[in-house]
């Protein structure tokens, strides 16, 4: 229980810090982990509903790298069993695919179900409650 409270406190602090940050998207500081690069890594099999069109990176806008980094930090802090031996780009994909689905009008329950699949790692899968909390962490990172 204390871990959960600490995780929520960390997430709140990170989200607050990010919310107060700049929306400046200076392309010269990009580390190559932009949305377009991540989209090429998606395989069609990872989509839950192929009939829905996907938004292009220009439709979705650039995901703020600070918000993406904050999500990775909070996810690692709150879900150690899902992050052990996992690289950041795999965790970032949770945000990228979820934001894409949200932008395309996929309902919250379907996005949450996909988050369970995306967040699963090394035989560990988040519970429905954890997936809902991860969804709540994802949505602030999505472009408005």
Q: How many CA atoms lie within 13 A of 58 on its CB side?
A: 0
Question: The tokens of 124 are what?
Answer: 């560990």
**What is the separation, in whole angstroms, between the first and last Cα of the chain?**
33
Q: What is the pLDDT of residues 81-91, one digit of tens each?
A: 999 999 999 99
Place of tokens 């919310």: 19
pTM of the model: 0.61
Mean pLDDT of the chain: 73
Q: Using the predicted structure, report yes or no on whether residue 111 has a pLDDT greater than 70.
A: yes
**Distance of alpha carbon 107 from alpha carbon 109, whole angstroms:** 6
Q: Write the pLDDT tens digit of every residue in 31-77.
A: 444 444 444 344 434 444 433 444 433 344 578 999 999 999 999 99
Q: Is the pLDDT of residue 127 over 80?
A: yes
pLDDT at 39: 42
């Amino acid at each position: 229980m204390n871990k959960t409270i600490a995780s929520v406190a960390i997430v709140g602090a990170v989200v607050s810090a990010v919310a107060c940050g700049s929306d400046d998207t200076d392309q010269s500081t990009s580390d190559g982990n932009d949305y377009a690069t991540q989209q090429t890594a998606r395989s069609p099999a990872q989509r839950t509903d192929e009939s829905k069109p996907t938004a292009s990176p220009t439709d979705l806008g650039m995901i703020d790298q600070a918000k993406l980094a904050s999500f990775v930090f909070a996810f690692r802090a709150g879900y150690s069993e899902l992050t052990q031996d996992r690289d950041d780009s795999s965790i970032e994909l949770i945000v990228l695919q979820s934001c894409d689905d949200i932008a395309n009008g996929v309902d919250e329950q379907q996005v949450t179900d996909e988050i369970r699949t995306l967040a699963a790692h090394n035989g560990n899968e988040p519970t429905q409650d954890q997936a809902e909390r991860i969804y709540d962490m994802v949505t602030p990172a999505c472009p408005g």
